Structure 1
Amino acid sequence: MTHVIVIGAGVIGISAALALQARGLSVTVLDREGPAAGASAGNAGAFAFTDILPLASPGLLRKAPRWLMDPLGPLSVPPRYALRIAPWMFRFWRACAPARVARSTVAQTLLMDLSRAELEPFLDATGTRDMLRKDGSLQVYESHAELQASLPGWQARADHGVEFRHLDAEEMAQIQPGLSPRFTHGTFTPNWYSIADPRLYVLALADRFRAQGGVIEQARITALTADADRVTVTAQGRNWQGDHAVLAAGAHSKGLARSLGDRIPLETERGYNTTLPPDAFDLRLQIIFGGHGFVVSSLSTGIRVGGAVELGGLNLPPNFRRAEAMLDKAKTFLPGLNTQGGKQWMGFRPSLPDTLPAIGPSRASNRIIYAFGHGHLGLTQSAGTARLVADLVTGAPSVIDPQYFSPQRF
């Protein structure tokens, strides 16, 4: 039986492992900490299929200078990391050119459509459908001018058939009571899905994988090599051998890819959040405070306030003042929010400068498949990525042009 080693037990790695199992393959998953220990544990829980516009865009470039002036704002670069991040920022700037944005939008749309199509069959196959929610989302604006500035993006979604409705303050209050009157307009997206709790979801997937004969082991990978017949994965003096390997280690993928000859400009967005008790607020759907770079989500385990981007790598100590700043804003924006009893978190989002993931074979060998760099959209794109990975490993025709996500595109 063909044996595949998946490196990474987050939502991408575990989803890919299950998709490979479904094709009749034997699969072992290796992870430095275990299932759902990284970014998959602390995300906002949304399947943001309507987010077809790449983060790398002229709109973000216009906001970035103002945001960067605030060290606790939606986008920050710690001074100690500024020189190191400069080449990535230059690539990001280049990716914001209109022609590149247009191509990235096509790619993002294709992956979003595939992920949406694959999600519910995947949930059914893994026994996790009861964790899916379809409550919608509300993007809020502080002025008519801010709403107007958002309209080109909404038109792009409308052209793709995304359903939404612009609201005034009274209409917003009917959907979500308790918003501050500073928010005068909003956009309601009814077909916005979420998961009850992202960590519990990935743990449930891991349980299903094991129940079907899969193996998950904790290991810190030190080397990944391939020859004509097999792949060898080395960690702490121990070797695992397989017919194929999938590198889905999120922000920790860069070094292993580089050792295989792929200089992929993967960077780390450090995301922060605070999860409050479930009764902290009567939250009826996800609220997106786009002008401030964070969201408030209702999970089965609590109310999560999080988001923003800190481009600070893997090694700097966390700056939890960022989480506190978002929580203070949330209290202002939702005056009835009880901010007591929260639990803070910081995690690493793996991000590429064109805000598209790397999904495809390594330069070193077609036996090694990359699946990382999903940024804020790992949960959203997990089922679609799992399908693409399973097709690549088994040699099935790809349902999306693989060049869009080629790891060699850089």
Structure 2
Amino acid sequence: MTRSPSSPRPDPDVLIIGAGVIGLSAALAARARGLSVRVIDREGPAAGASAGNAGALAFSDIFPLASPKIIAQAPKWLLDPLGPLSVPPAYAPRLAPWLWRFWRASSPARVRASTVAQTAMMRVSEAAMRPFLIGNGLLGYLRNEGQLQVYEGAREFQASLPGWEARAAEGIAFEHLTTPEAIAQVQPGLAARFTHATFTPGWYSVSDPKLYTLALADVLREKGVEIVVAEARALTGGGVETSQGLMKAGKIVLAAGAFSHHLARSAGVKIPLETERGYNTTLPANAFDLRTQVTFGGHGFVVTRLSTGLRVGGAVELGGLERAPNFARAEAMLTKAAAFLPGLETSGGVQWMGFRPSLPDSLPAIGALPGRAEVICAFGHGHLGLTQSMGTAEIVADLLTGRAPGFDLTPFSPSRFARHA
């Protein structure tokens, strides 16, 4: 059981800040290397975005969010406050510096570089998946039901083809479906407006992201790792100042998701982390006969079958950590889902909003915090935290034990933002 400390304990080799899927996965990888580990979190395991995501292990998502395509679509989307991308007007001035960096990261040259880096990260993460799950007795959470990306008309489908050609060059398997009959064989019941689709058979997911993350915590406890409910307030020269007092360790892993930049700032490092507020509604499991994850890319949301229900969610609201949730966004996606999946039963759903930690170039920060070699960053994965969790865990374990990771970490270095400090 997760509990707060009541008596002095030996300082661990590693103190991990954050009990989401990244922090807990890193804790398991560090423990497997023989390190003693303690995890702290302000709310406990699976309290944030790790609980409410779509459950996808999206290894084929190699393209950064920052891109010319998004820049071109953004003006239209931003005019719709309930659309795929929104910025609350009152938050726009605070967001301006991040948006400027996002725009710079959207140049063709930087998109190519980010795509190369993201592809390498996906390879590492996919290679780590089965050994990690098998080694921790969690393979039963893995599903392979594929993913269906649907398009409204030939024009939208044709516009997607360069991206699929790039995926094919990386060995990613897929099948284009260009007739209603072919689409219905994969997923019956879609509205006739979706005339084309692409099916990715190698798309993996977990049966339920919250239950999976809680299972990570259970495995850690079985391995003797303490998970403490305590708020990390500042990085100090001697460790981490928390709501339970000063905690020390030889190494610190900063994996606090959307709150990570506040802790980095306490060490004098300014990292431009922003919060993508994601929304969803989880319906009862019998709400629709869903056979694969369906992605409505033109509308910015997905529908996923979990062991605990049917989840309709996605979109991006760049609105920070403090604003109250705008659940009209979840309702708008659910209304669209009912139109796109005729027969979907929309009653009995549970709404959710969570914070995705996003950096302007769409790459996570993995590596030593500038000026603090003992602090290893592992945050900023955006929509891909679950997807990249097992790969990130192995990289962090390498950094903790002085082993060179198997690929170039330079594009992910937290110091890439040092010029903005």
Q: TM-score, normalised by structure 2?
A: 0.95
Give unpaired runs (5+ residues) of structure 2.
1-10
Partner of 1:262: 269
Q: Secondary structure at the match of 1:123?
A: helix
Query: By how many angstroms is 1:80 displaced?
Result: 1.0
User: Is the CA contact (8 Å cut-off) linking 1:261 and 1:363 kept in structure 2?
Assistant: no
Q: Decide which of 84, 88, 91 is 2:94's aligned counterpart.
A: 84
1-structure distance, mates of 2:135, 2:286 = 32
1-structure distance, mates of 2:222, 2:355 = 29
Partner of 1:74: 84
- The residue type paired with residue 58 of structure 1 is P
Partner of 1:292: 299
Structure-to-structure mapping, 1:16-35, within 5 angstroms: 16-35=26-45
Q: Decide which of 87, 102, 109 is 2:112's aligned counterpart.
A: 102
Moved more, 9-18 or 395-404: 395-404
Query: By how many angstroms is 1:288 displaced?
Result: 0.2
Structure-to-structure mapping, 1:204-283, within 5 angstroms: 204-226=215-237, 231-236=238-243, 238-283=245-290
Structure-to-structure mapping, 1:89-168, within 5 angstroms: 89-168=99-178
Query: By how many angstroms is 1:272 displaced?
Result: 0.1
2-structure distance, mates of 1:92, 1:223 = 28
2-structure distance, mates of 1:170, 1:297 = 22
Query: By how many angstroms is 1:239 displaced?
Result: 1.4
User: Is the CA contact (8 Å cut-off) linking 2:233 and 2:243 kept in structure 1?
Assistant: yes
Partner of 1:171: 182
2-structure distance, mates of 1:340, 1:398 = 48
1-structure distance, mates of 2:97, 2:190 = 40
User: Is the CA contact (8 Å cut-off) linking 2:230 and 2:244 kept in structure 1?
Assistant: no
Partner of 2:65: 55
Moved more, 311-320 or 60-69: 60-69
Query: By how many angstroms is 1:182 displaced?
Result: 0.5
Partner of 1:303: 310
- The residue type paired with residue 389 of structure 2 is S
Moved over 4 A (4+): none
Q: 1:237 to 1:301 in 2, by over 3 A?
A: closer
Partner of 2:416: 409
Which deviations, in whole Å up to 9, do the C-alpha atoms of 1:264-309 show, x marking residues without a partner?
1000000000000000000000000000000000000000000000
2:203 aligned with 1:192: yes
Q: Secondary structure at the match of 2:352?
A: strand
Moved more, 259-268 or 344-353: 259-268
- The residue type paired with residue 33 of structure 1 is E
Give unpaired runs (5+ residues) of structure 1.
none
Partner of 1:322: 329
User: Is the CA contact (8 Å cut-off) linking 2:301 and 2:313 kept in structure 1?
Assistant: yes
2:398 aligned with 1:366: no
Q: Secondary structure at the match of 1:103?
A: helix
Moved more, 348-357 or 165-174: 165-174
2-structure distance, mates of 1:363, 1:167 = 48
Q: Secondary structure at the match of 1:367?
A: strand
Query: By how many angstroms is 1:364 displaced?
Result: 2.7
Identity of aligned residues (%): 65
Q: Secondary structure at the match of 1:242?
A: coil
- The residue type paired with residue 252 of structure 1 is F
2-structure distance, mates of 1:225, 1:394 = 22
Q: Secondary structure at the match of 2:232?
A: coil
Q: Secondary structure at the match of 1:366?
A: strand
Which deviations, in whole Å up to 9, do the C-alpha atoms of 1:10-68 show, x marking residues without a partner?
00000000000000000000000000000000000000000011111111111111111
User: Is the CA contact (8 Å cut-off) linking 1:275 and 1:302 kept in structure 2?
Assistant: yes
Query: By how many angstroms is 1:342 displaced?
Result: 0.2
1-structure distance, mates of 2:258, 2:204 = 25
Give the total of aligned pairs: 406
- The residue type paired with residue 35 of structure 1 is P
- The residue type paired with residue 143 of structure 2 is R
Q: TM-score, normalised by structure 1?
A: 0.98
User: Is the CA contact (8 Å cut-off) linking 1:271 and 1:306 kept in structure 2?
Assistant: yes
User: Is the CA contact (8 Å cut-off) linking 2:12 and 2:38 kept in structure 1?
Assistant: no
Moved more, 358-367 or 313-322: 358-367
2-structure distance, mates of 1:238, 1:364 = 23
The CA RMSD measured in Å over matched residues stands at 0.9
1-structure distance, mates of 2:51, 2:20 = 8
Moved more, 54-63 or 16-25: 54-63
2-structure distance, mates of 1:171, 1:61 = 33
Which deviations, in whole Å up to 9, do the C-alpha atoms of 1:359-387 show, x marking residues without a partner?
00011321100000000000000000001
User: Is the CA contact (8 Å cut-off) linking 1:47 and 1:192 kept in structure 2?
Assistant: yes
